[in-house]
């Protein structure tokens, strides 16, 4: 049994009896004639199947306690294969996902109709769907459109959001998932080190982004975990700056916040270093305070605490430290984001807000200080694995110390 069938079993254990779960891989979104936007597979579908192709539907059923899994796929198309490559065939789908059976996606509605007939005796069909929506106006996903279609055709349908079960499962990473995050961090490190080695005044931020992506490609990775932030000078005080199109000047700091992916698992790393290879005394003293904040989080991250608790520890620490840097006033003038979020298949991964950390969670550790009037933005971000009684820094071998960074940049 591979990890995908093991996860499906755990999911189906938690499904109510006489129910069906439908997970849609998603569709390619057309950009213009003959071109689609890059496809991003639905993460819950991938988590339960290991497949990252468009147009598929994973159906998990549970009737009288009997469980089965069936993957509905687009039929193989010889003509299409000549244009964009072959679709996945039945044998490959079975090999990767270990589903019980594979069927044509055009037969999905008939399959669902047959289950409705079986379920009549039990008062109708309960259907689990991934009803994720981030904003009110966001257009409906395929799962939401299908939920509407089911309710329109079978008025006694009970639609259940699959998210609570999947969220709890995905928050606790298994060994294979941690190994993939570690690989993503390792690839990211190569990219950041290439930036450190090549940066110089008058270079454009976009060249730094290009160096990072080139290094990822050399390691076989062509997908970023999120849009790279490559910000020098005062642009580093904009948290999610991603224009990456300005010239970097002598004496400025450069902040990058970026990540490679490995099998869709994300790294989320930030590093800040001097464009000319040497921190000023002022830059170094501020940098050291941010590094101290990272240590505060690392020393306190353990089962039972919340990410909000960790953030409060950072704020308390800054309250002590910022006046020593001549930064008076409220901490929120210089630090105005959370220190941590969960990390996994998504860079801001699924999360039960306010929940206590558990062994197997992977979270970020990303304190920063943003001093616009001095043109200084510093963020240092690592990724932590929560253990029985503390945490392991998955990015511990990734340069942190400012003196070591200078030595590395000037070697």
Tell which one of 52, 209, 257, 346 touches ligand GLY (CB under 6 A). Answer: 257
Contact present, 297 and 311 (Cβ < 8 Å): no
Q: Binding of ligand GLY at residue 177 (CB under 6 A)?
A: no
Minimum distance between the CB of residue 145 and ligand GLY, rounded to whole angstroms? 30
Binding mask 67-86 for ligand GLY (x = CB under 6 A): --------------------
Tell which one of 130, 177, 366, 383 touches ligand GLY (CB under 6 A). Answer: 366
If binding means CB under 6 A, how many residues of this protein chain bind ligand GLY?
Answer: 7
Residue 9's beta-bridge partner residues? Answer: none
Coil, strand, or helix at residue 410? coil
* Residue number with CB closer to ligand GLY (148 or 348): 348
The secondary structure of 225-281 as a DSSP string is: SSPPEEEEGGGGGSTT-----SB--TT-EEEEEE-BEETTEEP-EEEEEETTS---H
* Residue number with CB closer to ligand GLY (252 or 346): 346
If binding means CB under 5 A, how many residues of this protein chain bind Mn ion?
Answer: 5
Instruction: State the Cα–Cα distance between residues 249 and 275, nearest whole angstrom.
Output: 7
Instruction: State the Cα–Cα distance between residues 251 and 94, nearest whole angstrom.
Output: 56
Instruction: State the Cα–Cα distance between residues 399 and 385, nearest whole angstrom.
Output: 18
N- to C-terminal Cα separation, the chain: 49
Minimum distance between the CB of residue 347 and Mn ion, rounded to whole angstroms? 7
Find the binding residues for Mn ion in span 169-228 (CB under 5 A): none
3-state helix vs strand vs coil in the chain, percent to 5: 40, 20, 40
Chain centroid to CA 239: how far? 17
* Residue number with CB closer to Mn ion (52 or 381): 381
Find the binding residues for Mn ion in span 249-288 (CB under 5 A): 257, 268
Q: Which residue is nearest to ligand GLY (CB)?
A: 257
Minimum distance between the CB of residue 192 and ligand GLY, rounded to whole angstroms? 13
**H or E element, residue 31:** strand 30-32
Binding mask 221-250 for ligand GLY (x = CB under 6 A): -----x------------------------
Minimum distance between the CB of residue 85 and Mn ion, rounded to whole angstroms? 33
Tokens for 153, please give them: 């055709």
Binding positions for ligand GLY, rule: CB under 6 A: 226, 257, 268, 341, 347, 366, 381
């Amino acid at each position: 049994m591979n990890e995908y069938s093991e996860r499906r079993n755990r999911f189906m254990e938690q499904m109510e009896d006489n129910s069906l779960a439908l997970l849609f891989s998603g569709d390619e979104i057309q950009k213009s004639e003959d071109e689609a936007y890059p496809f991003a597979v639905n993460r819950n579908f991938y988590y339960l199947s290991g497949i990252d192709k468009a147009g598929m539907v994973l159906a998990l059923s549970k009737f009288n306690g009997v469980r089965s899994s069936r993957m509905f796929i687009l039929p193989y198309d010889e003509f299409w294969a000549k244009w964009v490559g072959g679709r996945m065939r039945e044998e490959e789908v079975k090999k990767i996902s270990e589903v019980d059976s594979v069927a044509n996606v055009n037969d999905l509605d008939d399959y669902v109709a047959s289950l409705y007939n079986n379920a009549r005796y039990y008062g109708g069909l309960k259907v689990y769907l991934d009803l994720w929506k981030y904003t009110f106006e966001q257009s409906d996903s395929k799962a939401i459109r299908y939920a509407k279609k089911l309710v329109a055709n079978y008025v006694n349908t009970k639609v259940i959001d699959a998210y609570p079960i999947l969220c709890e499962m995905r928050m606790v990473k298994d060994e294979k998932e941690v190994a993939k995050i570690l690989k993503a961090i390792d690839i990211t490190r190569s990219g950041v080190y290439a930036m450190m080695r090549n940066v110089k005044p008058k270079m454009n931020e976009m060249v730094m982004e290009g160096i990072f992506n080139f290094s990822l490609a050399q390691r076989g990775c062509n997908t970023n975990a999120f849009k790279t932030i490559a910000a020098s000078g005062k642009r580093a005080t904009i948290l999610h700056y991603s224009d990456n199109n300005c010239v970097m000047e002598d004496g400025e700091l450069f902040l990058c916040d970026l990540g490679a992916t490995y099998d869709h698992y994300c790294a989320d790393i930030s590093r800040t270093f001097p464009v000319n290879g040497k921190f000023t005394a002022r830059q170094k003293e501020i940098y050291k305070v941010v590094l101290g904040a990272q240590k505060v989080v690392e020393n306190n991250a353990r089962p039972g605490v919340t990410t909000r608790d960790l953030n409060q520890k950072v704020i308390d620490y800054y309250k002590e430290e910022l006046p020593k840097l001549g930064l008076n006033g409220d901490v929120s003038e210089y630090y105005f984001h959370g220190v941590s979020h969960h990390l996994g298949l998504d860079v801001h991964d699924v999360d039960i807000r306010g929940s206590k950390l558990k062994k197997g969670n992977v979270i970020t550790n990303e304190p920063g200080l943003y001093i616009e009037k001095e043109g200084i933005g510093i963020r240092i971000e690592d990724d932590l694995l929560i253990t029985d009684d503390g945490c392991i820094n998955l990015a511990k071998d990734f340069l942190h110390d400012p003196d070591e960074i200078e030595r590395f940049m000037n070697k």
